């Protein structure tokens, strides 16, 4: 159903008390009209609350699907809330894509435009520029953004600490990276966060860095986090873990069986890595 059709639809009006008294006193038989339920109190900042229409739009496959689910639950649909949800979704996707795909200079230019046009109120906004700096190992700039985030009243989340841990690894500060990951373990990670693109991409990058250095223990730890989100069903993720075994020169049996049981399909790279791991069998 097109969005403009959904906007025109309205819920049937609930009979008021005056209408009920009219039908009761109109000479005919008494008509029992059920008392309408009390209308839910809606705050002005409803689009920012948990489970709001704006957040449903971000999670749903399409805007129309989110609106249908919202209306099916008996919730009121306001034109302003819909426009707010669509614009917020479009703005966040645009900022995230522009910051991650472009170069550092382009990302800083976009970040400067964002700061000059609107107030920074969301942790996700700071995480976008943090991901750029941390992927290039610019720890000093990432630290400055982190301080600015705290100064603006935004609380860092698990994705923030994963970005910082990746930046430390890129800069060769392994101890600080491990400490940052310990801090990230204390953060509450919801199912929505674990299935988000920033979380999955950064976690896989952490896995790649640990695999390159042969830190098998840390690689297994990151892999277990990815396993909770079922991201390990992708063969390239499991192959990254196999690279950690090869770099660490450690043999472990039944790796192929474990891969298949997790739902990942082995490919040519998988069998090549397993052949290398077999050499470390004693």
- Concatenating the DSSP letter of every residue in 35-97 gives PPPPPPP--TTGGGSTT-HHHHHHHSSSHHHHHHHHHHTT----HHHHHHHHHHHHHHHHHHH
Q: Is 235:266 a contact under the CB 8 Å cutoff? A: yes
Condensed to tens digits (0 to 9), the pLDDT of residues 47-86 reads 334 456 666 665 555 567 767 777 777 777 666 666 666 6
Tokens of 244: 């950690």
The C-alpha atoms of residue 282 and residue 267 are separated, in whole angstroms, by 26
Tokens of 202: 């950064």
Q: Is 66:60 a contact under the CB 8 Å cutoff? A: yes
CA 226 to chain centre: 13
The C-alpha atoms of residue 66 and residue 82 are separated, in whole angstroms, by 10
CA 220 → CA 40, 107, 181, 223, 227, distances in Å?
Answer: 48, 32, 13, 5, 10
Report the length, in residues, of the chain.
282
pLDDT band at 105 (very low <50, low <70, confident <90, very high): confident
Q: Which of 165, 167, 166 is nearest to 181 (CA)?
A: 165
The C-alpha atoms of residue 32 and residue 34 are separated, in whole angstroms, by 6
Question: What pLDDT, on a 0 to 100 scale, did the predictor assign at position 191?
Answer: 84
Q: Is 264:238 a contact under the CB 8 Å cutoff? A: yes
- Other Cβ atoms less than 10 A from the Cβ of 94: the count is 11
Dihedral of the alpha carbons of 94, 96, 102, 108, in degrees to the nearest 10: 100
Question: What pLDDT, on a 0 to 100 scale, did the predictor assign at position 41?
Answer: 44
Q: Give the list of residues 6+ apart from residue 208 with CB closer than 8 angstroms, or none.
A: 240
Question: Is a pLDDT exceeding 70 seen at residue 7?
Answer: no
CA 246 to chain centre: 31
Note the pTM of the prediction, 2 decimals: 0.65
- Domain boundaries of the chain, sorted by first residue: 1-9+52-94, 102-187, 189-282
CA 32 to chain centre: 50
Of residues 104 and 140, which shows the higher confidence score?
140
Condensed to tens digits (0 to 9), the pLDDT of residues 234-253 reads 999 999 999 999 999 999 99
Whole-number percent of the chain with pLDDT over 90: 39
- Other Cβ atoms less than 10 A from the Cβ of 222: the count is 26
Mean pLDDT in the chain? 77
Lowest mean pLDDT among 25-34, 71-80, 113-122: 25-34
The C-alpha atoms of residue 139 and residue 166 are separated, in whole angstroms, by 10
Question: Is a pLDDT exceeding 60 seen at residue 13?
Answer: no
Lowest mean pLDDT among 121-135, 157-171, 201-215: 121-135
């Amino acid at each position: 159903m097109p969005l403009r059709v959904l906007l025109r639809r309205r819920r049937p009006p609930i009979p008021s008390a005056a209408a009920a008294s009219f039908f009761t006193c109109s000479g005919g038989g008494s008509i029992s009209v059920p008392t309408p339920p009390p209308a839910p109190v809606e705050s002005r900042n409803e689009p920012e609350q948990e489970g709001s229409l704006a957040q449903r739009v971000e999670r749903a496959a399409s805007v129309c699907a989110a609106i249908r689910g919202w209306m099916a639950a008996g919730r009121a649909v306001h034109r302003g809330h819909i426009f707010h949800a669509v614009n917020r979704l479009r703005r966040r996707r645009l900022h995230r894509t522009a910051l991650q795909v472009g170069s550092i200079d382009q990302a800083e230019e976009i970040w400067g435009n964002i700061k000059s046009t609107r107030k920074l109120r969301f942790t996700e906004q700071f995480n976008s520029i943090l991901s750029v700096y941390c992927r290039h190992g610019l720890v000093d700039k990432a630290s400055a953004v982190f301080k600015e985030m705290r100064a603006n009243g935004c609380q860092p989340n698990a994705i923030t600490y994963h970005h910082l841990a990746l930046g430390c690894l890129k800069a060769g500060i392994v101890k600080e990276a491990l400490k940052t990951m310990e801090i990230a373990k204390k953060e509450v990670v919801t199912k929505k966060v674990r299935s988000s693109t920033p979380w999955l991409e950064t976690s896989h990058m952490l896995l790649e860095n640990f695999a390159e250095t042969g830190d098998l223990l840390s690689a297994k730890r990151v892999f277990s986090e990815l396993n909770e989100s079922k991201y390990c069903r992708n063969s390239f993720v499991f192959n990254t873990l196999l690279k950690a075994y090869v770099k660490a020169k450690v043999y472990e049996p039944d790796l192929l069986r474990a891969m298949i049981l997790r739902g990942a399909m082995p490919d040519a790279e998988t069998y090549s890595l397993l052949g290398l791991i077999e050499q470390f069998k004693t």
